[in-house]
């Protein structure tokens, strides 16, 4: 097991290297000059050139990449062009809201989606099953920002029950933190719930047709025990897989959700950096997302061996 983990971690090195080269070249070959954005609309060509020289953007691309990669390997992620702070400082300030939003979303989504999927499988063809499938279609079809604005209108503006936007850190009080996390978590978890509940339903229905399920029922075991201990447990591998995929997909959803609810997280930082053509911030944030994605896949692979003893690494 330890050898497998070591191999997977080593395998992340070429992945991150490819991501670094791809993102570096893509940012510099797409239209838009960060020096011109920093200088402003009224700046002269000489002023823009002076800013480009100060930022090192007048160097050949290979030199720029070697300088940047050398700094990253030494732990220096560079300084933001736009925010005038180090990238490490920006990420450390913004990472808590994103982590809290993701954690609340995962807990909410899994605690709702898995029971929904099992319930729909147990009532296959009934109104519960049709309702879950209808919700899944709706969850996939409606964009995240539409759900966010709809929830804001109903619960914040129309009913006045929850704050419209903003974020309170956990250290500032549990009540304020929970109140401001409700709408963003529901918004971000909608697609996640639709995905996990649908896969859970399909996996459990497939498992319910196996011989050992008929044997368990022939022994007189209660339906709840058959569903949870036998069906759900043996259907867990595809469910864990889609949960892992959904967690990775939260990265894209967090960018939209944080923008809608004005949450100062990594997603909002990414949007601001892209609009400002802030190369150092964009490069490190994308590499961070890539590393998290690879790490999540590693955790999923390790979970397989715990759920199914036949899987060994």
Task: Dump pLDDT digits (tens) for 186-214.
Answer: 998 888 888 888 888 888 888 887 777 78
Is 80 exceeded by the pLDDT of residue 105?
yes
Helix, strand, coil shares of the chain, percent, nearest 5, are 80, 0, 20
With respect to residue 264, please indicate whether it lies within any of the assigned structural domains: yes
* Average pLDDT taken over every residue of the chain: 82
The 10 Å CB-count burial string (b at 16+, else e) for 147-164 is: bbeebbeebbeeeeebbe
Structure confidence at residue 313 (pLDDT): 58
Measure the CA angle with vertex 164, ends 256 and 137; round to 5°.
50
With respect to residue 246, please indicate whether it lies within any of the assigned structural domains: yes
Structure confidence at residue 1 (pLDDT): 64
Is 70 exceeded by the pLDDT of residue 86?
yes
294 contact partners, CB below 8 Å, separation of at least 6: 8, 12, 15, 16
With respect to residue 47, please indicate whether it lies within any of the assigned structural domains: no
Between 106 and 59, whose confidence is greater? 106
Cα 12 from chain centroid? 18
* 279-293 confidence digits (pLDDT tens): 888 888 888 888 888
Least confident of 86-95, 128-137, 300-309: 300-309
CA-to-CA dists, residue 72 to 88, 124, 157, angstroms: 11, 54, 45
Read off the pLDDT band of 310 (50, 70, 90): low
Alpha-carbon distance of 113 to 118, in angstroms, equals 9
Structure confidence at residue 68 (pLDDT): 83
Q: What is the pTM of this model?
A: 0.81
Structure confidence at residue 305 (pLDDT): 72
Alpha-carbon distance of 308 to 117, in angstroms, equals 21
Structure confidence at residue 311 (pLDDT): 64
Alpha-carbon distance of 268 to 273, in angstroms, equals 9
With respect to residue 5, please indicate whether it lies within any of the assigned structural domains: no
Q: Whole domain around residue 258: which residue ranges? A: 94-307
Structure confidence at residue 121 (pLDDT): 84
Q: What percent of the chain has pLDDT over 70?
A: 96
Structure confidence at residue 302 (pLDDT): 77
With respect to residue 36, please indicate whether it lies within any of the assigned structural domains: no
With respect to residue 268, please indicate whether it lies within any of the assigned structural domains: yes
Structure confidence at residue 312 (pLDDT): 63
CA-to-CA dists, residue 253 to 42, 63, 202, 244, 257, angstroms: 36, 35, 25, 14, 6
* 34-51 confidence digits (pLDDT tens): 777 777 767 777 777 787
With respect to residue 39, please indicate whether it lies within any of the assigned structural domains: no
* 221-278 confidence digits (pLDDT tens): 777 777 777 787 777 788 888 888 777 777 777 888 888 888 888 888 888 888 888 8
With respect to residue 69, please indicate whether it lies within any of the assigned structural domains: no
Looking at the 3D structure of the chain, how many domains does it have? Answer: 1
Q: What is the mean pLDDT of residues 179-183?
A: 89
CATH number for position 266: 1.10.3720.10
Alpha-carbon distance of 184 to 259, in angstroms, equals 10
Q: Supply 182's token pair.
A: 């409700």
Shortest CA distance to 105 belongs to which of 194, 187, 25, 30? 187
């Amino acid at each position: 097991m330890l050898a497998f983990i070591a191999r997977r971690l080593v395998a992340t090195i070429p992945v991150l290297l490819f991501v670094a080269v791809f993102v570096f070249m893509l940012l510099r070959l797409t239209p838009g000059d960060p020096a011109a954005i920093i200088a402003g609309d009224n700046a002269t060509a000489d002023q823009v050139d002076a800013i480009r020289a100060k930022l090192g953007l007048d160097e050949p691309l290979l030199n720029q990449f070697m300088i940047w990669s050398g700094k990253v390997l030494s732990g220096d992620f560079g300084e933001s062009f736009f925010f005038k702070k180090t990238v490490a400082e920006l990420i450390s300030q913004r990472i808590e809201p994103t982590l809290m939003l993701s954690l609340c979303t995962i807990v909410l989504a899994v605690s709702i989606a898995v029971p929904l999927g099992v319930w729909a499988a147990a009532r296959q063809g009934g109104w519960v099953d049709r309702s879950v499938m209808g919700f899944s279609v709706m969850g996939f079809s409606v964009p995240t920002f539409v759900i966010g604005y709809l929830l804001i209108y109903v619960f914040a503006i129309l009913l006045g029950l929850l704050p419209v936007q903003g974020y309170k850190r956990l250290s500032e009080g549990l009540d304020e933190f929970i109140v401001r996390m409700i709408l963003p978590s529901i918004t971000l978890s909608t697609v996640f719930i639709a995905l996990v509940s649908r896969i859970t339903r399909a996996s459990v229905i497939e498992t319910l047709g196996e011989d050992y399920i008929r044997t368990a029922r022939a022994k007189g075991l209660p339906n709840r025990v058959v569903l949870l201990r036998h069906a759900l447990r043996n259907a867990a591998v595809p469910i864990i897989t889609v949960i892992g995929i959904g967690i990775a997909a939260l990265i894209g959803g967090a960018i939209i959700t944080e923008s809608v609810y004005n949450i100062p997280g990594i997603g909002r930082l990414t949007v601001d950096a892209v609009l400002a053509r802030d190369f150092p911030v964009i490069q490190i944030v994308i590499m961070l997302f890539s590393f998290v994605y690879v790490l999540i896949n590693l955790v999923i692979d390790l979970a397989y061996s715990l759920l199914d003893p036949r899987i060994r690494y």
